[in-house]
Structure 1
Amino acid sequence: MFYEPSAGHGLPHDPFKAIVSPRPIGWISTLSRDGALNLAPYSYFNALSGNPPLVWFSSDGSKDSATAAQDTGEFVANLVGRELARKMNASSVNAPRGVSEFDYAELETAPSRLVRPPRVAEAPAALECKVTEVLRPRDLNGNATDAIVVIGQVVGVYISDAYLKDGLFDTVKAGNVSRLGYMDFATVDDVFSMRRPRWED
């Protein structure tokens, strides 16, 4: 089949998110200007640069995480490990503004080193970020979309020693959780290696 998104797909559910997958989950913790703690998972999240290390998450509209990150200039991207999948999902609840998803999902906080928002204490790893820019992407007609893209530079990295093996972060042990389409998720349970080819060889 072939379809144009503007004309509709005719399927029971939109396949776009299933096609562009798996996507890492940005489990974003923030503190508002008045100190309200927020935690929410974002499936539009990824790294966009290694030097300097930059990550981004995209919010559909002015949700708490994007608003707090933009207002304060800080956020933490917590890694969702296999054992935290259900609590991550619980933290996606549409709680009233000011309600802490940490409490709702029965999660502990741990202080960050270089930013004010805490990290998820149980997370295998966390990236402490300072906002570098906030974007409002445009469509083909030049109109601003509802998406708010928050880009942050990673200024501090926490890794639980339990997930370091021979100096490498063990993604299989952590079971990094990713977002697929529809209601589906996946975890890392197998890793294979391939070296990038060199023309000279």
Structure 2
Amino acid sequence: MRVDFDPEALGGPGFYRFMTSVVVPRPIAWVSTVTPDGAVDNLAPHSFFSIASTDPPIVQFTSIGRKDSLRNVEDTGEFVINFCSEPNLHLIRDTATDFPRIVSEFGTAGIEREPSRHVRPPRVASAPVVLECRSHTTLRMGNSTMVFGRIFLAAVHEEYLVNGRPDAELLRPLTKLGGDEWGTLGQIMHLSRIPYEEPRGE
């Protein structure tokens, strides 16, 4: 027997909690930005994050409400996606606090910066992978704004590369689940696609 969940009856916050418990695991974009005057750098995790296009390379994260990351991207057109790895769990959690825009999460959480090559926002020095992005498009949808950014540089610490590409087991990706739940990689399964011409097994 199924239990029905009516979005209208639950309302926005109630159905948000339902959706984020069902759409799991979700990769996390740890987004660094700067204020227009360059005085304050911000860093915040966004768990609505995905690839939007591969050619040109575009990634997308969603800001629920008018968060500092969104405001800074709108004002400067630049941001960095810092890969969220398991060793940085507590630092990522610490940057999820709703600080005022004039407060730098880098400084508050004691996170080491490193300069980016093509954009003004700094990178997280301990992040295994960073994606330097310039804003491509923003799209308002309901109470949220989807931010699309074109990648102008991807940089990976060399110890995370195997045969020329980042290795998932070495990266130890961190994911967001429902409520205050976080997830780690777990078991990796290798299963190739079956070409149409090949027969399927029983």
Query: Please, what TM-score do these two structures have when normalized by structure 2?
Result: 0.90
Paired position in structure 1 for 2:143: 146
Paired position in structure 1 for 2:96: 92
Q: Shift in Å at residue 190 of structure 1?
A: 2.5
| SS at 1:132 equivalent | strand
Alignment pair present for 1:26 and 2:47? no
| SS at 1:87 equivalent | helix
Structure 2 stretches lacking a partner, 5+ long: none
Paired position in structure 2 for 1:57: 61
When the two structures are aligned, how many residues end up with a matched partner?
193
1:195 to 182, 192, 195: 192
Output the amino acid matched with 2:101: R
Structure 1 stretches lacking a partner, 5+ long: 138-144
Distance in 1 (CA, whole Å) between partners of 2:190 and 2:157 is 24
Paired position in structure 1 for 2:8: 6
Distance in 2 (CA, whole Å) between partners of 1:173 and 1:132 is 31
| SS at 2:17 equivalent | coil
Alignment pair present for 1:177 and 2:174? yes
Q: How does 1:102-117 map to 2 (within 5 A)?
A: 102-117=106-121
In 2, are the aligned partners of 1:70 and 1:150 still within 8 Å (CA)? no
Output the amino acid matched with 1:83: P
Output the amino acid matched with 1:194: L
Paired position in structure 1 for 2:165: 168
In 2, are the aligned partners of 1:172 and 1:190 still within 8 Å (CA)? no
- Structure 1 residue runs of 4+, over 3 Å off? none
> What fraction of aligned residue pairs are identical, expressed as a percent?
37
Output the amino acid matched with 2:175: S
1:82 to 79, 86, 98: 86
Q: Shift in Å at residue 189 of structure 1?
A: 3.5
Distance in 2 (CA, whole Å) between partners of 1:55 and 1:70 is 16
In 2, are the aligned partners of 1:175 and 1:189 still within 8 Å (CA)? no
Q: Shift in Å at residue 14 of structure 1?
A: 3.0
The structure where helix makes up a greater share of residues is 2
Distance in 2 (CA, whole Å) between partners of 1:171 and 1:189 is 11
Query: Please, what TM-score do these two structures have when normalized by structure 1?
Result: 0.91
Paired position in structure 2 for 1:43: 47
Q: Shift in Å at residue 26 of structure 1?
A: 0.5
In 2, are the aligned partners of 1:28 and 1:76 still within 8 Å (CA)? yes
Distance in 1 (CA, whole Å) between partners of 2:53 and 2:59 is 7
| SS at 1:8 equivalent | helix
